[in-house]
């Protein structure tokens, strides 16, 4: 466990990375400003994270994350969910086609404000990660910060977890605890949680890379096509 002032991160974030191994091929899914996207991209640039962002997929035209992708020279693809009204599985199918086109191994939902369907989950089993602004299993779903304040908890935080069909319920990879102050508002508490989000998002990906190298997680060499047929990359 890492104690950072009044914050606690568990498990500990790996402090060193070996760069001679093949980088993880990531796709980032984002809906808004993309602060977590930038933290990941910066971690790659500085050598903290042995990975490559193959593509950014965003669903809101004009999202600020586009400018961040341009700054790092990363392809950005708009898939507007509004074009797939009441056809969520078809929308996820289009996401899968894009991921396949960019040879993606891992999917990172960094502020992706859409609920994924089994179509996407089954195409990348145990290879989609999400960050959520609470200590799961407490306060899943939307408005997690507001829910924590309403409940009167004294500690909340954020969680990086694998994505399953049920919202915010997959296996937990890393968490950071954040104290709730007496005068906190949703804005002030969320701002402090976001600082920790940036740490554990990169930390969780670093840990996944370590496990990938030691074969503690399923091999990335088998990826499912949009039609559910496995193929060798």
Active-site hit among 132, 161, 190, 198? 132
CA–CA separation, 65 vs 87, rounded Å?
25
Report the candidate in 103, 90, 2, 93 with the shortest Cα–Cα distance to residue 54: 103
Contacts of 93 (CB under 8 A, 6+ apart): 119, 226
- Cis geometry, peptide bond prior to residue 83 (ω within 30 degrees of 0): no
Here the tokens at position 224 are 């499912």
Work out whether strand 7-10 and strand 172-179 pair parallel, antiparallel, or are unpaired. Answer: antiparallel
- Is 198 considered catalytic here? no
**Crossing angle of the two packed helices 186-213 and 35-45, in degrees rounded to 10:** 40
Instruction: State in Å, rounded, how far the first CA of the chain is from the last one.
Output: 36
Cite the DSSP H helix spans in the chain: 35-45, 65-72, 88-101, 118-123, 144-151, 186-213
CA angle 134, 77, 174 (to 5 degrees): 25
Q: How many CB atoms lie within 10 A of CB 153?
A: 16
Q: Which residues are catalytic?
A: 132
């Amino acid at each position: 466990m890492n104690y950072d002032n009044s914050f606690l991160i568990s498990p500990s974030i790996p402090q060193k990375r070996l760069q001679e191994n093949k980088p993880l091929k990531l796709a980032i899914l984002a809906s808004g400003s993309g602060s977590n996207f930038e933290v990941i991209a910066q971690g790659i640039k500085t050598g903290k994270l042995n990975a490559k962002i193959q593509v950014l997929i965003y669903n809101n035209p004009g999202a600020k994350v586009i400018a961040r992708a341009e700054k790092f020279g990363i392809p950005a693809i708009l898939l507007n969910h509004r074009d797939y009204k009441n056809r969520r599985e078809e929308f996820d199918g289009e996401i899968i086609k894009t991921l396949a086109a960019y040879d993606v191994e891992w999917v990172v939902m960094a502020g992706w404000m859409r609920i994924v369907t089994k179509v996407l989950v089954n195409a990348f089993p145990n290879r989609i990660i999400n960050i959520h602004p609470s200590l799961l299993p407490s306060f899943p779903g939307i408005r997690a910060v507001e829910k924590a304040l309403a409940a009167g908890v004294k500690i909340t935080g954020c969680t990086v977890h694998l994505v399953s069909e049920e919202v915010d319920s997959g296996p937990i990879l890393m968490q950071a605890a954040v104290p709730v102050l007496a005068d906190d508002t949703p804005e002030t508490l969320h701002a402090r949680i976001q600082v920790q989000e940036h740490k554990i998002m990169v930390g969780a990906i670093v840990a996944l890379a370590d496990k990938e190298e030691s074969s503690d997680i399923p091999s990335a060499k088998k990826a499912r096509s949009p039609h559910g047929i496995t193929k060798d990359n």
